[in-house]
A and B are shown apart, each in its own frame.
Chain A
Amino acid sequence: DAKTTQPPSMDCAEGRAANLPCNHSTISGNEYVYWYRQIHSQGPQYIIHGLKNNETNEMASLIITEDRKSSTLILPHATLRDTAVYYCIVRVDTNAGKSTFGDGTTLTVKP
């Protein structure tokens, strides 16, 4: 699986958009980009995933660059409950559980 690089921490004002970057310059053509988040002392929660195209669901939007070497997770209107560790994972789809969860980005949403 491709290695990812995320900033260790970010702050965001409540109600503003939170833009979380992820670098995955060694991504292969068949690898998906997944985002999960983990609120303190809970299990991680799936947010969104994509292969080439930008994706949007009820939780977030995922923007993948044309060369697929980086992506950005966007929380359009961050709330205090979005404070969590966000993990960017890149892998093929054949074995979800072997995903590598690095240290992620700790997002703190401030009032």
Chain B
Amino acid sequence: DGGITQSPKYLFRKEGQNVTLSCEQNLNHDAMYWYRQDPGQGLRLIYYSQIVNDFQKGDIAEGYSVSREKKESFPLTVTSAQKNPTAFYLCASSRVIAGSSGANVLTFGAGSRLTVL
């Protein structure tokens, strides 16, 4: 089945450590995205990439880094510069619905929950 796989599902980190969250998709989608979600709140865009070897900052990119070396993969690194990294992280990719004048739908992974100890 096609979809987005995020790993690990749960991750614990000590302060000052960098961690990398994996996101892999087999949907042949061109665009991929990373969001952060804090308890009881909506999603905030961290980074997005529309093509391989290119990515742009979202609304809250400080303290995060990404790479897009392959179409299928878009890993997110949470660096020690991120002041409050404990959150639920969601990866998504987008497609265009055929016959709908270019309407664009997001497919999400199951998420990775990062806790800083």
Contact = CB atoms under 8 A, between A and B. Distances in A.
Interface stretch (A19-27, A44-52, A67-75, A76-84): A44-52
Contacts of B45: 97-98
Interface size of B as a range: 20 to 34
Given A97-B48, A97-B92, A101-B35, A43 B108 contact: yes
- Which of B94, B97, B102, B104 has the most chain A CB atoms closer than 10 A to its own CB? B104
Interface string A26-52: 000000101010000111111001010
- Give the secondary structure class of A's interface: loop
A42 B111 contact: yes
B31 A97 contact: yes
A97 B106 contact: yes
Interface of A: 32, 34, 36, 41-46, 49, 51, 87, 93-104
Interface of B: 4, 31-33, 35, 40-45, 48, 50, 58, 88, 90, 92, 94, 96-97, 100-111, 113
